[in-house]
Chain A
Amino acid sequence: MKKTRIIGTLCVAAVWLALTLGAWLDPAEEISVSERRKLAQLPSVSVKTVLDGRFMKDFESYTLDQFPLRDAFRQLKALVHYDLFGQKDNNGIYLADGSAAKLEYPLNEDSISHAVKKFDAIYRKYLEGTGSSVAVTVVPDKGYYLAEANGYPAMDYEKLFALVREGTSWAQFVDITDLLSTESYYATDTHWRQEQIVNVAQRLCEALGTTVPKAENYTAEEVEQPFYGVYSGQAAIPMDADIMYLLRSPILDGCTVYNHETGKTTPIYDLEKLGGWDLYEVYLSGAAALLTIENPQGDPDRELIVFRDSFGSSIVPLLLDGYSTVTVVDIRYLSSELLGNFVDFHGQDVLFLYSTLVLNSSSTIK
């Protein structure tokens, strides 16, 4: 019996030693694909960083990021968390109706107020008196359709919509909640699916009084690469990949997108991004402060300015039909105070399109 005990103890020690050797000897990874971030590297040592504790802090981050079989361990944690301990979410991500979503709770009224004040300031400074037709819409996050129905706490969405509507009384508020459902969003990602939002684009175009896009004018082209959205990495639970589609049309194929930061001109769908971490960046090349889209087949007398977050990337192409020029602005990356230096406001149609996710956490809006 004593021998068996010694063997048992040696087994425990062996597993410990194996993990230790892995931690010491495994070559460091550069990035985590599942989390879409760079991983911490071994920090350099100096007397200063040791004395002020920075080395220790950075070393701890390094050991966490470079632990052997890190993704497998994260998955093990998620499984124990959900299945053994019966927790309903893991790192704030929950699974319901086959879809992953983030707990967005509670409503942050100060944040909504901050965003609405910024919108109001933009209107007062650049749009008032120019004759622009202005519309505002709020894109509900997936939780609007998933949370309450599955017993998860949800923010007071109606109050959020009311606060935005009241704060932007100078614009036409376009409610799109009835046009969407859980299926309108990727199961593994926060964003909506382009092929599911033509009806939303139609309503927005109606509100702006421009050419309403016809669903039959688009061809859905399937993207070869499997799409593992941001939630699949955060939830750390194995999930089936989403299939991504790009809506093609002769008008869209003729459009060009100019990025004012990089000076590059790309097509509407930047296929190079399909080789990157986040396939959603294929739409208008992802996050960008200021874009100008030229549509040679659009009405030369009509232009549109869209203030948007990442949800705008996939819907803006569907709003193009009636416009010759569409300016796409992201005031998270470009201060609204400086907008006048880059954009000439002369009566274009204007759309504010923001998701509940950004509005409820709007400190990044400048």
Chain B
Amino acid sequence: MLFSSIPFLYYFLPVVLAVYFLVPRSWRNAVLLMASLVFYDWGEPRYLLLMVGTILVFYVCGLGVGRVKGAGQRKVLLILSLVIGLGLLAVFKYADFFVENFAAMTGLNLPLLKLALPIGISFYTFQCVSYVVDVYRGTVPAQRSPIAFGAYVALFPQLIAGPIVRYADIARELENRHAGWEDLQIGLRRFLVGLGKKILLANQLGELAGIYRASGEKSLVFCWMYAIAFSLQIYFDFSGYSDMAIGLGRILGFHFNENFNYPYLSKSVTEFWRRWHMSLGTWFRDYVYIPMGGSRVRRGRWVCNILTVWMLTGLWHGASWNFVVWGLFFGLLLMLEKWLKPERLPGLVRHGYVVLAVVISFVIFGGENLGQAWQDILGMFGAGGLPLMTVQTAYYLRSYAVILALSILGAAPLVRNLSNRIPEKIAVVLEPIAMIALLLVCSAYLVDGSFNPFLYFRF
């Protein structure tokens, strides 16, 4: 089920909130777990058991890691849970990718599994891994209640598109949380802002990207329009979903960490990744990069560490060479930034470099394969023999100019800064009016249209 859908907004969510706030507090985790299972089953009935199985494996292993005294036994339990969790992820997400490439290398004719990707598997697997590793490290105690643990893993606000919420961050709130008027107000606002980002901006930008992809009449300007639109689409799509997740969490009494912080303002790629999908970046830092030695190793090993982490970051996004190259592209840029120290350059130049690098990276990300991505990049730089402009390009440029301009402005904290300047007396009146307008317009777009896919669902 999508957050940005009529069944979620007007059927599922009102019922869940009503039940959640009506039952005694001690039942709330059970309500959340049940609601989350229904939520997951709605979109992925085939794989409900897979998720429940994953929860049970990590619950039992976590409990074991927490209780068993012997270091060897704890390690065995940790490894067992990691092998099962990451093994399932590998089978469902990467098996065909590896088989295809192995077959291509060896010339063997190997059958593909052709398994559908279980929604949200990358997110909930990473949450489970972080939990069991943290229990192993002694950072958090193991969760004894299977209901509380199940509610944590399956928590519907962040189940299928993140952010990756670490157990340690919400362990206390799983046991005891309070949701008051302020939480409702802040959570509602955050949810509706996310809904607006998704429906009013990301979906429109996605339409433009789709038109470009289907067009047989590309031009240099159209290639750039696509690259910019797709880069903005993926930002508003994902940050919109994160906003909705954080908002819903807040309504329910959870305080999830931020996942985006205006990444397009960055003046280096290093900074970009501190502002973009922060929960993924910190996950790889804490559970892969630092355990590998991080930067406190010899230069050769450090290069190896960086490339491994970024290759895995790319692969996490999908089983395709596009994502691998996308990840390695960022790895290379990060290393170059370490060596070349671009902070000496003027801020505008650094900002331009980051925007260009990120836009190119998302063209790689958005291609169906590397060949298509390469053609798109060639087109952007005039090497594809494309005309500068066509009638079709001019039409869509005019048609999407406002959306593109609003999206570019929306990617900066302009609206936030302006709204902060409004006197509070006026703001308390204006805010609910704006929220109601947003709800009505978003509902209108949902009622009228069907173009509504979440890009991050495939991860």
A contacts, CB < 8 Å to B: 1-2, 4-6, 8-9, 11-13, 15-17, 19-20, 23-24, 50-53, 56, 59-60, 63-64, 67, 70, 73-74, 76-78, 80, 84-89, 91, 105-106, 148, 151-154, 236
Give every chain B residue within 8 A of A1 (Cβ-Cβ). Answer: 424-425, 428
With known contacts A5-B185, A9-B185, A16-B14, A151–B402 Cβ distance under 8 A:
no
Which of B46, B399, B429 is the one whose CB lies under 8 Å from A88?
B399
Contact of B6 among A5, A16, A67, A77 (CB under 8 A): A67
| A12 contact set on B, CB distance < 8 A | 188, 192, 432, 435-436, 439
Min CB gap B424→A, angstroms? 6
Residue of B nearest to A59 (CB): B7
Interface size on B, residues (CB 8 A): 52
Query: Are B424 and A73 in contact (CB-based, < 8 A)?
Result: no
Q: Which of A2, A13, A85, A105 contacts B403 (CB 8 A)?
A: A85
- State whether B436 touches A74 (Cβ < 8 A): no
Apart from the given pairs A19-B10, A153-B392, 19 other A-B contacts in the complex at a CB distance below 8 Å: A5-B185, A5-B428, A8-B428, A9-B181, A16-B14, A56-B43, A59-B7, A60-B7, A63-B10, A63-B11, A64-B447, A76-B444, A84-B402, A85-B402, A86-B398, A87-B204, A87-B399, A105-B392, A153-B391
Contact assessment for A85 and B204 in the assembled complex, using a CB-CB cutoff below 8 Å: yes
Q: Check B224 for interface membership: any CB of A closer than 8 A.
A: no
Complex contact B185–A77 (CB within 8 A): no
A80 to B403, CA, bound (A): 12
Closest to B391 in A: A153
C-alpha gap A28/B359 in the complex (Å): 46
- Residue numbers in B under 8 Å from A59 (CB-CB): 7
Assess whether B92 is interfacial by the CB under 8 Å rule: no
Q: Which residue of A lies closest to B216 (CB)?
A: A106
Q: Is the CB of B399 within 8 A of A8?
A: no
Do the beta carbons of B204 and A80 come within 8 Å of each other?
A: no
Query: Can you report 24 A-B residue pairs in the complex whose CB atoms are below 8 A from each other?
Result: A1-B424, A9-B184, A11-B432, A12-B432, A19-B443, A50-B45, A51-B45, A73-B440, A73-B443, A73-B447, A77-B447, A84-B402, A85-B402, A85-B406, A86-B402, A86-B403, A87-B400, A89-B399, A91-B448, A105-B392, A106-B392, A153-B391, A153-B392, A153-B395
Q: Residue of A at shortest CB range from B446?
A: A64
Does B408 count as interface, using CB distance less than 8 angstroms?
Answer: no
Q: How far is the CA of A5 from the CA of B427 in the complex (A)?
A: 9
Bound-state CA distance A67–B406 (Å) is 29
> Per DSSP, are chain B's interface residues mostly helix, strand or loop, or mixed?
helix
Interface membership of B445, Cβ < 8 A: yes
B431 within 8 A of A: yes
CA of A16 to CA of B195 in the docked complex: distance in angstroms? Answer: 14
List residues of B (91-117) whose CB comes within 8 Å of A's CBs.
none
Chain B hits for A67, CB < 8 A: 6, 10, 443, 447
A-B contact count (CB 8 A): 134
A129 CB → nearest B CB, Å: 41
Residues in A with CB closer than 8 Å to B447 are 64, 67, 70, 73-74, 77
Q: Is B401 on the interface with A (CB-CB < 8 A)? A: yes
Q: Among residues 40 to 75 in chain B, which have CB atoms less than 8 Å away from a CB atom of chain A?
A: 42-43, 45-46
B385 proximal to A (CB < 8 A) = no
The 8 A CB mask of B440-459 against A (1 = contact, 0 = none) is: 11011111111000000000
Kindly identify, within residues 385 to 444 of chain B, every residue whose CB is under 8 Å from any CB belonging to chain A: 391-392, 394-395, 398-403, 406, 424-425, 428-429, 431-432, 435-436, 439-441, 443-444
C-alpha gap A70/B447 in the complex (Å): 7
Contact indicator B443/A8 (Cβ below 8 Å): no
Chain A CB within 8 A of B5 CB: yes
Are A73 and B448 CB-contacts (below 8 A) given A16-B439, A86-B402?
yes
How distant is the Cα of A361 from the Cα of B120 in the complex, in angstroms? 39
The distance from the CB of A222 to the nearest CB of chain B, in whole angstroms, is 33
List of 4 A-B pairs having minimum Cβ-Cβ separation, nearest first: A8-B432, A86-B402, A77-B444, A88-B399
Q: Whole-angstrom distance between the alpha carbons of A20 and B425 in the complex?
A: 30
Contact in complex: A6, B181 (CB < 8 Å): yes
Q: Is B368 an interface residue (CB 8 A)?
A: no
For the complex, give the distance between the alpha carbons of A16 and B204 in Å: 24
Cα distance A222–B436 in the bound complex, in angstroms: 45
Given contacts A50-B45, A77-B449, A151-B398, contact A63 B6 (CB under 8 A): yes
> Could you say which residues of chain A place their CB within 8 Å of the CB of B175?
none
State in angstroms the CA–CA spacing of A191 and B404 once bound together.
35
* Among A5, A12, A78: residue with most chain B CB under 10 A: A12
Cα distance A76–B443 when bound, in Å? 10
B286 near A: Cβ within 8 Å?
no
**Chain B residues near A52 (CB-CB < 8 A):** 45
The answer to whether B399 and A86 touch across the interface, beta carbons within 8 angstroms, is yes
The listed residue (A50, A51, A80) touching B444 by CB distance below 8 A is: A80
Does A17 lie within 8 Å of B14, measured CB to CB? yes
Contact in complex: B444, A11 (CB < 8 Å): no
Q: B271 at the A/B interface (Cβ < 8 Å)?
A: no
Please name all residues of chain A whose beta carbon is closer than 8 Å to the beta carbon of B399 when the two chains form the complex.
86-89
B439 touches A23 (CB 8 A): no
B197-219, CB < 8 A from A: 200, 204, 216-217
Q: With a CB–CB cut-off of 8 A, which chain A residues contact B182?
A: 5
A236 touches B448 (CB 8 A): yes
In whole Å, how far is A51's beta carbon from the nearest beta carbon of chain B?
A: 5
Q: Are B181 and A20 in contact (CB under 8 A)?
A: no
- How far in angstroms is the closest Cβ of chain B from A57? 10
**Residue from the set B6, B399, B441, B445 with the largest chain A CB neighbour count within 10 Å:** B6
* Nearest CB of B to A85, in Å: 5
User: Which residues of chain B are near A9, meaning CB under 8 Å?
Assistant: 181, 184-185, 188, 432
CA–CA, A60 and B11, complex, Å:
10
- B residues less than 8 Å from A105 (CB atoms): 392
A77 touches B392 (CB 8 A): no
Q: Could you mark each residue 183-195 of chain B with 1 if its beta carbon is under 8 Å from any beta carbon of chain A, else 0? A: 0110010001000
Verify B439–A4 contact, CB threshold 8 A: no
Cβ-closest chain B residue relative to A89? B399
